[in-house]
Amino acid sequence: MRRPPTLRLDKVHETITQLRHRVEERFPGSGLAGLVADLERIAAGVRGQVRAMHRPIWWVWALVAFTVVVLGGVIALLAGSVRMQGPATWTEMAQGIDAVTSELALMIAVVVFLAGWQTRIRRNRVVAAVRDLRELAHIVDMLQLTKDPGGAAGVSLPATAHSPRRDLSPAELERYLDYCSELLSLAAKVAQFYVADFDDPQATEAVNDLEDMTNGLSRKIWQKIMIIDHHRRG
């Protein structure tokens, strides 16, 4: 049976590098070229980041072991004190068993809490990494905000003293916006690698939210591209 295709980090990184070359060739020194280079650096470091995220956090497990030893010792002392009292009434035995059971339940609760601590640390690291990609996506959106398709189509109002520069031809503007859309899509692809082997609902939700955001921004960009294309063909 043929294995289903999987998203490969090396291919995504290669695509980002190719996009950087394309942007630098057409728009050298532009802010967009710098953003693609930033995403390329992030993608190059993803494998190491993910490996570090999945590495056991030894100080957490040392704390778990210390807690087990301390509470285990307390339970052993309580159990020993119940045995050393000799013949005991049912009430005394019940009190002793209750004390041991309470300490055992406390130990289990503390161990579960501390063991979950490692997952929470990993989750926070994933969310922080995705937050960086969200910021990059917002900057891409800022770059494309001033790219007026009406100006390229010749239907905008005359420029004022504070109007953004409109020095791109319709074909160049269309290509610039297309690059913005590609960059947003690739940012969402990079985010997927942070949760590929980390089945955590909150971390996955953060990645899905980023993908929804980049899809929404891309839709706005493609509306501009369609306006430009319509006027070019008209």
Residue 153: per-residue pLDDT:
47
Q: What's the rounded mean pLDDT across residues 203-215?
A: 96
Lowest mean pLDDT among 83-87, 145-149, 223-227: 83-87
Q: Structure pTM?
A: 0.75
Q: What's the rounded mean pLDDT across residues 139-164?
A: 70
DSSP state of 158: P
Mark 212-224 as b/e (b = at least 16 C-beta within 10 Å). ebbeebbeebeeb
Residue 168: per-residue pLDDT:
79
Helices (H), the chain: 9-26, 31-54, 58-84, 90-145, 149-153, 170-192, 201-233
Query: Given pLDDT bands bounded at 50, 70 and 90, which one contains residue 75?
Result: low
pLDDT at 225 over 70: yes
Residue 205: per-residue pLDDT:
95
For the chain, percent of residues with pLDDT exceeding 90: 44
Residue 100: per-residue pLDDT:
59
The pLDDT mean for the chain works out to 81
* Structure-model confidence comparison of residues 96 and 21, the more confident one: 21
Give domain limits for the chain: 9-233
What separation in angstroms does the CA of 146 have from each of 18, 33, 126, 141, 149?
25, 17, 32, 9, 9
pLDDT at 229 over 50: yes
User: What's the distance, Cα to Cα, between the start and end of the chain in Å?
Assistant: 50
